[in-house]
Structure 1
Amino acid sequence: MPDTALSRPEASAAVHHLGWSLILTTLRTVVSVRNVHDALTVASIATEAAGPDAGAHLSVDLRAHRVELALQTAGRAVVTARDAQIAAAVTAALTAAGFTTGSGGAPRVTQLLEIAIDTMDAAAIRPFWKAVLGYVDEGGTTDPGGGLADPTGQGPTFWFQHMDEPREQRNRIHFDISVPHDEAERRIRSALAAGGTLVSDKAAPAFWILADAQGNEICVCTWQGRD
């Protein structure tokens, strides 16, 4: 059924060979273009290929030299069989027009950045972050400790990681960078070569914790190891 939610392995397997990646709860791909005119063409082709329900699934981020496409079923925050169908249709239409879905030729692969705040009481600080960022409740959540999202879709999501006791010796804010599962190890090697350290790989391949030379932390995340 088109509205059937796919598991993470199912979603990744359905589109990976098409140049799409599962990042968090979205299917994403990037299309390299030469100019804004080509970018507009890619956006038009993708929208047409997505069909009459494109608005309930497809998001387009258009830049002068790249177009990023994302698919997720609106209102459910999940990837469904329909999203995978649209990915296949979009890739076929773009390929026929001479464009390629995937990171080939792009400065980097598709990815998503999140910012996590460690707290013992998310409800006490969440209203501040919501107000100062101009964000909204992620996915319409009513959870007082739930995530916050940029209503324009431009900024990173903020979420709150519960702590049972204060940990003054560690950072209170860290970054999560979610990348395609076949990009994670290359990204980690690059970060380590640039002076970083591996803090923990106990949760790999769901995430690895890295730190810079001063102890500031970031998690490199994939969809794997979460089901």
Structure 2
Amino acid sequence: MNANRLSRAHISAAVAGTRWRFVLGSLRASVAVTSLTEAAEVAKRLSPTGDGLALDLRRERVALTLQTDGWVTAADIEQAKHIATLVDLGAPGRSEQVVELAIDAMDIARVRPFWRAILAYTDEPGAGPEDGVVDPLGQGPSVWFQQMSEPRPQRNRIHFDIAVPHDEAAARMAAAKNAGGTLIHDGEAPAFWVLADPEGNEACITTWQGRD
């Protein structure tokens, strides 16, 4: 790890007590609004705060993401704290999360160009021939490739990773199990848990914990 790169634990602790959540390498929060006009006013209020901020304006909320060059920096944390003094963070509904699509592959470099082309995605910053691809418009989930050691014809080879705030993982798993899911692997918890639907299709609940 880069010696100057902040640890996940440091980032999460730095925004504790705010409405910002650290999820999958970025700080995320939302502002509740009642119209696109109000959303635009929020965006105007926040526009001078810095370059690390990305906004997604909707009629009912403005989604805020803070990240610089693929990670959260000390400047991003200070920016997050400043933003919290400018707007009321927090919106009703589902909390902050990030969804990724994971594809098992025997030869990542061979299958990756297909998914990049068919989705009209681009490379992640600094990506190599076996790294993930991302939506340049930020609308769809990023796609990453999981190296397989042997074919698994009876196992789904595409699954969702749902990255949630670390203190919400238990509730999300409970909801999935109450909906008919089964916990099938927790050996890497709390980094991730693998669950399956009633027909065995898998999905992972992931957090930042257990990764530094």
* Match in the other structure for 1:80: 73
CA deviations over 1:117-158 (Å, ceiling 9, x no partner): 0011001111111110000111141x1111000011111000
Aligned match for 1:133, one of 104, 119, 127: 119
Return 114-123 or 34-43, whichever deviates more: 34-43
Counterpart-to-counterpart distance in 2, 1:140 and 1:78: 13
Instruction: Describe the SS at the equivalent of 2:17.
Output: helix
What are the within-5 Å matches in structure 2 for residues 212-227 of structure 1? 212-227=197-212
Q: AA paired with 2:63?
A: E
* Match in the other structure for 1:46: 46
* Match in the other structure for 1:124: 110
Counterpart-to-counterpart distance in 2, 1:36 and 1:5: 37
Counterpart-to-counterpart distance in 2, 1:84 and 1:5: 13
Structure 1 runs of 4+ off > 2 angstroms?
Answer: none
Q: AA paired with 2:117?
A: A
1:107 aligns with 2:93: yes
* Match in the other structure for 1:22: 22
Counterpart-to-counterpart distance in 2, 1:180 and 1:115: 18
Could you tell me whether the CA contact under 8 Å between 1:31 and 1:106 is conserved in 2? no
Q: AA paired with 2:124?
A: E
Return 154-163 or 15-24, whichever deviates more: 15-24
Identity over the aligned pairs, expressed in percent? 51
Q: AA paired with 1:101?
A: L
Normalised to the residue count of structure 1, the TM-score between the two structures is 0.89
* Match in the other structure for 2:83: 90
